[in-house]
Amino acid sequence: MLKKIKGIEITAISCCVPKYKIFNKNVKTHKNNSINNNIAKKRIINAIGIDSRPIADADTCTSDLVLKAANHILKKLNWKRQDIDVLVFVSQTGDYLIPATSGILQEKLKLKKSILVFDINLGCSGYTHGLIAISSLMKSLNLKKGLLAVGDVLTKLVHENDNISNLLFGDAGSVTAITNNISSNENLYCNYYSDGSGYNDIIVPSHSLSGRNKLTKDQIKNKKDIKNNTRSNINIHMNGSNVFNFGINDVQPLLKKITKKFI
């Protein structure tokens, strides 16, 4: 069902992209994988529409990209940091498993302590879910100004021999400044749709001692073991055909249904 949130305005958006960029045509492919020749690679590049991708260096985390975007947008808007009421951080590559990266950003941005901050662990749909979450909170709690921080450094989770994922993922961060203006005629429309049955189609099977398929203490101590098990444990696994079919069979009809209400 389509929902409406009145008076929420997207005031500005700032993005931070790493300087280094890699062109997909130059990505080396693994001989034992299905993309083992230039013709196949060109066909996939044309299909996905991704010519190049920004890549963060080894020492850059998602919060570093978002922090630069946040400082830029606050300066451009001349917003006082003490006026920010809520900060939502959306990412699947936070700085740590614990603590939440939103708290780290709150400290680095020198925002007030009487502020609502939290993380949302989402990928492709992260921005829209984050926008709905922060807008709903700002409206229900009468918060005036908010920051929605969204980003990822997913290339760090892609195995070098994974030819499909190596052509898809890049790194970047963004911050959206949001204002709750009761006198505004602007409306934010949103619709919910989730299907958890496909959770295994984009997955990092293991990430810690606490989750499913957890790493053993011996693997964590022995770097050689971790390296040998990298692809099976701590890298992205993606079933590209299932993800593509979801976009065509589920997302496209939903978008058409929504747009009919405004056209």
Among residues 149, 118, 152, 181, the alpha carbon closest in space to that of 13 is found at 149
pLDDT of residue 225: 45
- Delineate the domains of the chain, giving CATH numbers in brackets: 3-192 (3.40.47.10), 198-263 (no CATH)
Output the pTM of the full model. Answer: 0.87
**DSSP output for 72-107:** HHHHHHT--GGG--EEEEE-SS-S-SSS-HHHHHHH
Q: Terminal CA-to-CA distance of the chain, rounded, Å?
A: 17
Q: What is the DSSP letter of 211?
A: S
Per-residue pLDDT of the chain (263 residues; tens, 9 = 90+): 678 899 999 999 999 999 999 888 888 766 555 555 666 777 778 888 888 899 999 999 999 999 999 999 999 999 999 999 999 999 999 999 899 999 999 999 999 999 999 999 999 889 999 999 999 999 999 999 999 999 999 999 988 878 778 888 999 999 999 999 888 888 888 888 888 888 888 888 877 777 777 766 666 555 444 444 445 578 888 887 888 888 888 888 888 888 887 77
**Contact between 2 and 261 (Cβ < 8 Å):** yes
pLDDT of residue 69: 98
pLDDT of residue 32: 52
